[in-house]
Chains A and B, each alone.
Chain A
Amino acid sequence: KEKMLVNSLPLLIFSLSSFQTKSKKTLARPNVKNIVLVEGVRTPFLLSGTTYSDLMPHDLARAALQGLLHRTAIPKDVVDYIIYGTVIQEVKTSNVAREAALGAGFSDKIPSHTVTMACISSNQAMTSAVGLIAAGQCDAVVAGGVEFMSDVPIRHSRKMRKTMLSLNKAKTLGQRLSLLGSIRLAHLSPELPAVAEFSTSETMGHSADRLAAAFGVSRVEQDEFALRSHSLAKKAQDAGLLQDVISFKVPGRDIVSQDNGIRPSSMEQMAKLKPAFIKPHGTVTAANSSFLTDGASAVLIMSEEKALAMGYKPKAYLRDFVYVSQDPKDQLLLGPTYGTPKVLERAGLTMSDIDVFEFHEAFAGQIMANLKAMDSDWFAQTYMGRKSKVGTPPMDKFNLWGGSLSLGHPFGATGCRLVTTVAHRLQKEGGQYGLVAACAAGGQVSDTHSPQMVFQQS
């Protein structure tokens, strides 16, 4: 059996210094530096093709970085390193971290690099930052993510590219004319970014529909979950809870200050939609999937020592993380199920210790499938080598301020949103530990990844 293992799941454990209400243990480890989240911001997440449509990816990333600078008032030369995550790369700015950092006014002496890991690209940026600090390389790192789906690189066909490259080398007019003459109609058909998993040629939506079917998730269950996400997001937005959102003056347009994809509908309206991927009997629709989104996020991560020395009041500790991967065909989106128990075990916690859960909602069907997998002894025994089931997070602690289905999902940027949201929820709800989980489910990307994070208040 060929089982490709390409899935990962990082988990961070945060603890908040200001709340000491519960007498839970600290997750600090001897001889390991305490690493803290100082601040997290994001641009409003917009449906692609709307207000951001004339920008470039680094513009969005720049806006997030400037927002972070503004919020933290950190001197521009204190930051040691900048890391950004992105999925669909604009070829002109392939190291988008560097272009955005320079444009945001950071010192040109700060090295920056860009990482990619499908929908957990910014999780990878954050865990890389944690690694740099833990290794003693840096004290303050900015991590972030950006995705811009309003414009994607569409290439000439391979045949055309080959002809054009040969044209460069052609020496005589005759050679050039003969190359030009070789161009046929077929040369002109463009090549779109792959909308499918490279290894299996399956689109993410198709995979999610199969996953939902495999776990017997009904259309109604999916619609209900999507509706919940939109309703909770609307409530959070109206209540002003989404404090990580910064206002962004879009050149040539108005100031944008809130997400525009939150649209609570009704079960009746949602039931009218036709399946988007598997026709005619599929269950995944446009309404119960995350939509194509433009957006960027950024967080400031520091060693606790440095943060305190600079007078910051950290939002949370980042202790630990786990990456896992699975078969990209049939378990593409099951990362949270595999990662959650691993990260809890590493941290010495159990499911009931967690006060705040933030799971990335790629598809309602994928979330429901994960919840069912976590609730199944058979699945745990057969596929995870566990004695019993993982257990499911209680819904009254789960994604209470909406999720990717409603807030939007700019692939490269979602990870930072999840982490910042957990920190903010812990503060607001007075919890001590939080857990983040996500599977890499970019509509246009490869891989099967799942990042997860637990937050602790100490």
Chain B
Amino acid sequence: MMMVPPRTHVSYELKDDVAVIRLNDPTSKVNTLSVQMQAELTEVMGEVWSNGAVKSAVFISTKPGCFIAGADINMIQACKSSEEVTSLSREGQKMFEKIEKSPIPIVAAINGSCLGGGLEFAIACQYRVATKSRKTILGTPEVMLGLLPGAGGTQRLPKMVGLPGAFDMMLTGRNIRADKAKKMGLVHQLVDPLGPGLKPAEERTIEYLEEVAVGVAKGIANKKVSLTKEKGFMQKLQDTVMGLGPVRKQIYKTVSDKVQKQTKGLYPAPVKIIESIQAGVEQGGEAGYVAEATNFGKLAMTSESRALIGLYQGQVICKKNHYGTPEKEVKKLAILGAGLMGAGIAQVSVDKGLTTILKDTAVDGISRGEQQVYKGLNDKVKKKALTSFARDTILSNLSAQLDYSSFKSADMVIEAVFEDINIKHKVLKEVEAVIPPHCIFASNTSALPIKDIAAASKRPEKVIGMHYFSPVDKMQLLEIITTDKTSKDTTASAVSVGLKQGKIIIVVGDGPGFYTTRCLAPMLAEAVRVLQEGVGPKRLDALTTSFGFPVGAATLADEVGIDVAAHVAEDLGKAFGSRFGGGNVDVLKTMVEKGFKGRKSGKGCYIYGKGKKDKSVNPDAEEILKKYKLAAHPAISTDSDIQYRLVSRFVNEAVLCLQENILRNPVEGDIGAVFGLGFPPCLGGPFRFVDSFGAERLVGIMKRFEDIYGNQFTPCQLLLDHAKNPSKKFHK
């Protein structure tokens, strides 16, 4: 006889006539619908269904903070063909169909993340109870991985939350909190999270959730709880309207147009999601399920999906501290300079419980900075993501001041003062005179080499770079720069603070422009040249966004600040020589002289009105460009050529950073480029782009440009190596 291995992921017990089925993957922090989980689930359900004494069932996870976080991505990645993925999807669909058609009612008791396949599982059950915990989130994030909900989600969700709600959920992939889910009709009943009682809070909350779910299951089984919900007037009205064919047709069209506009046709998943939903609604269940499975298979094999999955996995890696636990936890943070950057750093620190000092040299400065922090928090209050009371207690962590008092108890100082080496040296010396020996000095410079700043330090092992991106509360990336002298503990501490602030972190070596600024500079230099050659800011923006950049190059320059761009171009130009040439730096300098510093001054390449989207091309900037006009070379000035001129310089510089050990690995390179600079996510970052586009093809294109412009387009050695040997890939 064959030995049946004991079940490790799924267990169940009978509570009266209710089968309570508990999920817990002992090998992971989260539950996923792995092969093992699915096999055990099928086995357990078989036993439950064949037991005549069982009148109802409850699914619950015993893992804190997680119901089921989704399907196992590895399962999909292991597939070699779209057919294989399609059959995976068919199996999932069948399993959930059985749940949906279960002879006994099944209640899903949800605490923690219920995402992707987990949500598809839950919505196949007859009833859903969820805790109101902040950790309880429901959603279909597949689209962010370039996929679609492939286990019945595209078919069941429209019926459950209506067509508009279903589109919104599946096309944005956003997380939905429990109370919102209840309003949408995604869950039937909510359970409050409990405080501590005779057991730890979360343990008791899960137990309580189970008690309530068991009660509901019994109620459904003996018909005391109804599964059909009385529909409100608005719901009935919406149903009637959605029942009209032409109305639905209009919705499909509107949604498709919107998707086309936002994705510029670069992302196939949203289109396939619309297709699958449409197939189900218009042609009925079976056609819908087939469309879903087929489209799922197709999407899984696209380069876009691989790129997005790569980014997801890279992001997970970059959210860990690879440098160990710091000897002393940073509890008190001091920030020098209450400008946009300084206040932004304060904003993401105070709400994580860090005691934060915001120091500036002028009352106006700290007043503006404090207001920025207040506004950031208060906007959350307005959106009901925070109570006004929580806002106030968070703000109690912030103190704004003009002097160095209480710096003697600071654990870390981050300077965000003007980008001038002399000023940096001055504040470094002032700070070192007052801080305790263990205190770390971090510089939020975007281009000055950290070793130059550290040259003025008595303790260079405590000096590090922490390069934040503006606006700090929105941009997820933090680039940490270590010098040869920076100690490992200092790095560990900086990473730990960054992680606490919710950042995705790359740690790079020191050098002019580090990694991110260094990649961006040649691309911006090329953008200036393109502008000088007569391509207007609007067309330049269109060319870059249609390549997948979320922000066009001209707009990006305005956002970064023309003065900053000029500064960086000049500094890096000195450091790297003619390779960083292209456009004339004087274009930028002249703009700065005229006060066109970008969005912050109201004028740059564009003139900015009061509204966020209100902008028009700045005619005076165009005049300047005319003054510096260059003749375009017809051989390399097609739209596509212009795009590759911009992108290839970016990518080549990124590869060079890896070659020169500024970057430790391609993963951090891709994450830094996408999350810090907006490199097209559908391409997955410069390294994945080289892998999928082909190094040889890229080198070929660059050689054409090199013939005309010279060394700015000379491929670096590492790129050449990859071109020579196609089996060489940055990502396995």
Contacts and interface: CB of A to CB of B under 8 A. Distances in A.
Interface of A: 1-2, 4, 198-201, 206, 209-211, 213-216, 278, 280-281, 327, 329-331, 369, 372-373, 376, 378-379, 382-383
B233 interface: no
B215 interface: yes
A400 B197 CA distance: 27
Contact of B215 (A281, A331, A372): A281
A210 B132 CA distance: 12
A331 B198 contact: no
B189 A382 contact: no
Contact of B198 (A200, A210, A216): A216
Contacts of B197: 211, 213-216, 369, 372-373, 379
Contacts of A215: 197-198
B75 interface: no
A341 B100 CA distance: 54
Interface residues of B, number: 21
Most buried by A among B194, B195, B201, B204: B195
Nearest to B204: A214
B393 A379 contact: no
Contacts of B393: 2, 4
Interface string B186-220: 00010110111111110010001000100110000
B389 A210 contact: no
Q: Which of A210, A379, A383 has the most CB of B within 10 A?
A: A210
B194 A214 contact: yes
B195 A329 contact: yes
A367 B48 CA distance: 41
Given A201-B387, A327-B195, 4 more contacts: A214-B195, A278-B192, A330-B195, A383-B196
A382 to B, nearest CB: 7
Contacts of A199: 387, 389
B284 to A, nearest CB: 36
Given A4-B393, A200-B387, A213-B208, A376 B198 contact: yes
A340 to B, nearest CB: 18
Contacts of B198: 215-216, 372-373, 376, 378-379
Contacts of A206: 192
Contacts of A213: 192, 194, 197, 208
Given A200-B389, A214-B204, A330 B196 contact: yes
A310 B513 CA distance: 88
Contacts of A329: 195
B196 A280 contact: no
B375 to A, nearest CB: 20
Interface string B381-400: 00000010110010000000
B189 A280 contact: yes
A214 B196 CA distance: 6
Contact of A210 (B192, B216, B390): B192
Counting from the closest, the 9 A-B pairs by CB-CB distance are: A330-B195, A214-B197, A214-B194, A215-B197, A199-B389, A281-B212, A376-B198, A210-B192, A214-B195
24 contacts: A2-B353, A2-B390, A2-B393, A200-B387, A201-B387, A206-B192, A209-B192, A210-B192, A213-B194, A213-B197, A213-B208, A214-B195, A214-B201, A214-B204, A215-B197, A216-B197, A278-B192, A281-B215, A329-B195, A372-B197, A373-B197, A373-B198, A378-B199, A382-B196
A214 B191 CA distance: 12
B238 to A, nearest CB: 25
Contacts of B215: 281
A127 B199 CA distance: 35
B143 to A, nearest CB: 34
B40 to A, nearest CB: 30
A281 B389 CA distance: 29
A278 B196 CA distance: 18
